[in-house]
Structure formats: C-alpha cells, structure tokens
Amino acid sequence: MIQHLPILQVIIPLLAAPICFILKEARLVRWFVLIANVMAFVVSIMLLQQVNLNGTLVYSLGGWDAPVGIEYRIDKLNAYLLILVTSISTITLMAAGKSLTKEISESKITYFYIAYMLCLTGLLGIVTTGDAFNVFVFLEISSLASYTMIAMGNDRRSLWASYQYLIMGTIGATFILIGIGLMYMMTGTLNMYDLAERLPEVEHTKTVFTAFAFFLVGVCLKLALFPLHLWLPNAYAYAPSIATVFLAATATKVAIYVLLRFIFSVYGFEFSFSHLPLTEILVSLGLLGIIAASIVAIYQTNVKRLFAYSSVSQIGYMILGIGIGTKTGLTATMLHLFNHALMKSAIFLALAGVVYRVGSVNIKAFAGLGRQMPWTMAAIVIGGLSLIGVPLTVGFVSKWYLVLALLESNWWPIAVLVLIGSLLAIAYIWRIVEVAYFKPALQNNQSYKEAPLAILIPAWIFVLANIYFGIDTSFTAGVSEATAELLFGVAE
C-alpha cells in the first residue's frame, strides 16, 4: 500500500469522477466527493511523511521502468504542493454544497462535481508525474475541466470567459507540447530525470533553446504571467464562486510548480540563468505584472474581477522571486505560493458568501455590509490585510523574504517597487473597506443576513490559517527553504 501512494494520489480523484456520474443524485455526490477529497488529502500527508523519512520516492507506473514506462517521482517540492492542493480543495468543497445551489441550476451540480474532480486529478497528476509528456496530458485534463467549470457560471458572460480561456489555454498547451516535442527530438527521452542528464550534451543547440522558449511561453500563459494574463480576470470573475476559489488557489500555483521544475530540475540553473537572460525576463515581467495589474485592480467595479487582477499581480511577486535566482528568492516564491493560496481562498470564499446572500459582487452592493455581514466582511478585510503584507499575517512573511532576497542581491530600486506594489494593494483593498463599513446600505428596507455557516466556516479556516502561518512560520518557511535548497542542489 505504502509504495503505491504516488499513484493513489492521482487514481482516487480520477476514479471518483465517473462514480459521481453513476451516483447522479447531487446530495450523494457532494458527500462522496468530499470523502474522496479527504482521502486524497490523507494520501498527500502520508506522502510527505514518506519523503521526509526516505527521501525522494520513485514509482514506476504499471511496473514499466523509465524511460519506457511512466515514472512518478515525489520529492519535497511535489509533496509540499500536493498537500497545498488537496487541503485547499477539501476545505473549499465543504462550502460547495451551499454555494452551488445558488449559483448553478440543480441539474448541473453533479456535472460540476465531476469537472471539479477531474480538474483535481489533472492538477495532482501534473505534480506527481516525472514524465514531461505526462505533464502535458494532465495539464489538458485539468484545463478542460476548468473550462467546463467556468462555463457553468450563471452569468452569460461566463460562457464567453470560458471560451476566451479555452482559446488562450489551448495556445499555451500547444506551445508546451511543441517544447516537449523538441526536447524529445534532441534527447530521445520524455522522462524528466533523463532529460536533465541528457540535455547538457546538446545544450548549445538552437533546438534546445527553441524548446525552452516554447515551453516557457506556454507555461507562463497557463500561470497568467503578465502580459499573458488576459484570460484570467474574466475567468475568475464569471466562474461559479467555488470554481474561482479552487482555481485561484491551486491552478496557477501548479503552473508555477511546472515552471520551477523545468527551470531548475530539467534544464538546470546553469542553463536557465547563465545561457539565457531569464533573470531579466522574469524580473521585468514580474515587476510589470505587480504594478500594472494592481493599478488595473484599483479601477474594477466587480470585486471578484478586482481580486482576479490582484492575483495577476501576486503571481508577479512569485515570478520575481524566481527571477532573482538566489536561494532566498526561491524561498520567497515558495512561501508566497503557499501564502497567496491561503489569502485568495479566504477572500474568494467570503465573496462566495456575499454572492449567496446579496447575489452580486458589484462594489456598490457592498454598502453597509460591514454591519450586516460582519464575519464575512472581516474575512475579506483580514485576507486583504494579508495581501497588503501587514505583520502577523502570512503576507508579511512572504514580503519580508522577497525584499530581503532583493536587498541581499543589492537590488534596492526593485525592492522599492515591490513595496510600492503593497501600497497599490492598500488602495484596492481600502475601496472595499470604505464602502462596506462607512457607507450606509443602499436600500434601507433590505437587510442581508450573515453568510451561511457552511460557507463561513471554511472561509474562516483559511482566515485563521492566514494568521496562524503568519505567526508560526516554522512549517512554511522550513519547507520553503528545504525545497529551495533541493532545487538548487539539483542544479549544482
């Protein structure tokens, strides 16, 4: 059993999806999906324990050894990501039952859960696999599932958003496929571990450079790096709230994982940072993303869209951390990966509560909500403070590491720009705070109740996690440092 853990991680949600189809009844499906998620979560915890005990786990699919067969390879980085994805997906599902009944029609709920499980399968698959082509396959599974989820939103624009994402996502996937194809052409292997060994022999060929470039662009499209982020704001804004929470917290993070894996483990630090101007590219695009997306966020009237743009800017922070090319920088990225997932889960779940009661996330609809839905609004405010990077929230921890990494490299001006990014975050968060707390409600006769507990409790789990991991950083900082060391260790 123990040695089959890596495949169980993927198989459980994969099998759960068709079973949902058989179960049909939405209420049954809901509980079943939750149980499957909890199981996946338990598996991920066991995996991390195994990795901590025995080091990297290698699992050959179907007994076929690499490079013929597909290999699953779990080290600290994957194990960390797996815990992140499964825990967030589980907690999000707790709120799904309530939230979905308001946002999508009864008949579609089962299909939503199926898409959700397939998306989870895809994300977990990307993280566990050690095979480059397999990455592409799982990426497509998760993407197709997320197009479906987004299209289920009750706003007519959600169809358009899903279509937009479909086009952009397919272009990205194609680029990734071309990149992988070129790598295969040059090395004759798809196994990442083998790739890492064989690429140095051919690293000066133009084909390898081209492969890297295609791959990079494709992945950056998937992770919505500015200016390849165009699909993201609409997709997040018009998807059902639960889908937004799940995608915002996990999908982009997994894409960043892929980026890290290929930059550091497959191509190696030497190739990525010395032969290519990766530092310049990532740092400049990251910074542009931080500043530009934050400014755009300030002018949004749809609050979900506002936080979607905020996500684009937060991705900028993570990319910037990679771009610095030092261990501290990578630690900052890994920390922010985790921390940003917590912030956005809290905020988007609280927004799910607002959608449930108020039916709108237009900024005008927030007037007076501070008094009517105090717990929901408090969740948004604390999540927002964390985004800004106020001490004793997780946001501060990641900002601290990022600025420290920049100062260590003597990049003072960039550190200033990062802090300016925080100021811009204040501007967009405070627009909401002002309206919610210091504006009287629009219609005097209408008063909204607090969001249902089924949504509020998961949201507050995330809020408390924001504070807890902001105070006790031993787990997050420890794991982040360990993974950063691991990635650099592979490179050396």
Partner 1 sequence: MGDMMNQETLMQWIIILPLLAIPGILLFHKKPNLREASTLIVGALLLIAVVAFYQGFDATSGSYVHWWELMPGLDIAFRAEPLGVLFSLVAGSLWLVTSIYAIGYMRGHGEANQTRFYTCFAVAISGVMGLAFADNLFTLFVFYEVLTLSTYPLVTHAGTDKARHGGRVYLSILLSTSILFFLFAIIGTWAEAGTLTFAQGGVFDSTTSKTMMSVLLVLFIFGIGKAAVMPFHRWLPAAMVAPTPVSALLHAVAVVKAGVFTILKVCVYVFGIDLLADLDVTDWLLYLATAGVLLASLVAMRQDNLKKRLAYSTVGQLGYITVGALLATQAGVLGGAMHIVAHAFGKITLFFCAGAIMVAAHKTEISDMRGLGKTMPITMIAFFIGSMSIIGLPPAAGMWSKWYLLMGSLEAHQWAVMIVLMISSLLNIAYLLPIPLRAFFDGNRSVVSIKREHIKEAPWPSLLALSITAIMTLVLFFWPQVFYGLAESLASVAGGTNG
Binding residues for partner 1 (CB under 8 A)? 385, 388-392, 397, 400, 403-404, 407-408, 415-416, 419-420, 422-423, 426-427, 430, 434, 437-440, 470-473, 477
Q: Which is nearer to partner 1, 304 or 399 (CB)?
A: 399
Give the shortest CB-391-to-partner 1 separation in angstroms: 4
Q: Which is nearer to partner 1, 209 or 400 (CB)?
A: 400
Instruction: Give the position of tokens 């946001």.
Output: 395
Instruction: Give the position of tokens 């917590």.
Output: 342
Q: Which is nearer to partner 1, 267 or 401 (CB)?
A: 401
Compute the distance between CA of residue 425 and CA of residue 314 in angstroms, rounded to an integer. 10
Instruction: Give the position of tokens 């990297």.
Output: 56
- In terms of Cα–Cα distance, which of 138, 22, 21, 19 is closest to 70? 138
Give the shortest CB-419-to-partner 1 separation in angstroms: 5
Q: Which is nearer to partner 1, 38 or 427 (CB)?
A: 427
Task: Check: CB of residue 339 under 8 Å from CB of residue 414.
Answer: no
Give the shortest CB-401-to-partner 1 separation in angstroms: 8
Give the shortest CB-242-to-partner 1 separation in angstroms: 31
In the three-class reduction of DSSP (H, G, I as helix; E, B as strand; rest coil), residue 472 is classed as coil
Between helices 453-471 and 76-103, what is the axis angle to 10°? Answer: 150
Compute the distance between CA of residue 291 and CA of residue 310 in angstroms, rounded to an integer. 10
Concatenating the DSSP letter of every residue in 224-237 gives T-TTS-THHHHHHH
- The structure tokens listed for 19 are 């079973």
Give the shortest CB-417-to-partner 1 separation in angstroms: 10
Q: Which is nearer to partner 1, 82 or 429 (CB)?
A: 429
Task: Check: CB of residue 346 under 8 Å from CB of residue 462.
Answer: yes
CA distances from 448 to 177, 249, 444 (A): 49, 28, 11
Give the shortest CB-477-to-partner 1 separation in angstroms: 6
Instruction: Give the position of tokens 């600025």.
Output: 403
Q: Which is nearer to partner 1, 15 or 471 (CB)?
A: 471
Q: Which is nearer to partner 1, 167 or 407 (CB)?
A: 407
Give the shortest CB-472-to-partner 1 separation in angstroms: 7
Give the shortest CB-433-to-partner 1 separation in angstroms: 9
- The structure tokens listed for 466 are 């924001």
Concatenating the DSSP letter of every residue in 263-293 gives IIIISHHIIIIIIS-HHHHHHHHHHHHHHHH
Q: Which is nearer to partner 1, 327 or 439 (CB)?
A: 439
Per-residue three-class SS string for 154-179: CCCHHHHHHHHHHHHHHHHHHHHHHH
In the three-class reduction of DSSP (H, G, I as helix; E, B as strand; rest coil), residue 318 is classed as helix
Q: Which is nearer to partner 1, 2 or 423 (CB)?
A: 423
Give the shortest CB-434-to-partner 1 separation in angstroms: 6
